[in-house]
Amino acid sequence: MSLLMRAPKECASWTWELDESAPSGLDSALSVAARMCAVLREHELLVPDSLEWNWTVYGSGGTGLVTRMALQGPMDDEDVPRRIARSRPVGFPEASVGSVLVVGSGTWIDATGEKRGEHRLVELTVAPDAPGIWVELALHHDIWGPFDFRGEPHPEVERQ
């Protein structure tokens, strides 16, 4: 059971547009996500265990369908894009992958200094087919600032 309250929408996020740094496409987006996850994993903020993505149809928009796939190895493994393509909804043969959410757990440190695991501590999203790739890192918890969601100060948590 989680000790942290989670906001329904992100309370902080950072976005990078990589149109000049990385080519469009799913393989490239997964490679970027893998590199970013390596840094996040080093700081115990995100250990990926699955990917979630939505499906879109050019000219029509989103299909309303979301697919989730457990990672059976590195996300930049050459088989991952093939597994994603094989999961295309049969009712939408022209659908392409929209944004991809990297799902996993991270570690935060409570006011007493104890490390605690939290599913979806941070969220990393990559979009493969904008003019280039864009990436967003989002936070939904109150541990990053000086106050909790009730407005109470929690300097020990912020300090950790």
Residues 7-23 have pLDDT tens digits of 889 989 999 998 878 88
| Residue 101 pLDDT > 60 | yes
**Rounded to the nearest 10 degrees, what angle do helices 79-86 and 26-42 cross at?**
120
Whole-number pLDDT of residue 33? 95
CB 49 within 8 A of CB 71: yes
Whole-number pLDDT of residue 148? 84
| Residue 1 pLDDT > 80 | no
Question: What is the pLDDT of the chain when averaged over all its residues?
Answer: 91
Going by pLDDT thresholds of 50, 70 and 90, the confidence category of residue 106 is very high
Whole-number pLDDT of residue 2? 63
| Residue 88 pLDDT > 90 | yes
Question: Domains of the chain: which residue ranges?
Answer: 12-159
User: b/e for 63-79, b at 16 or more Cβ within 10 A?
Assistant: bebeeebebeeebbeee
CB 119 within 8 A of CB 105: yes
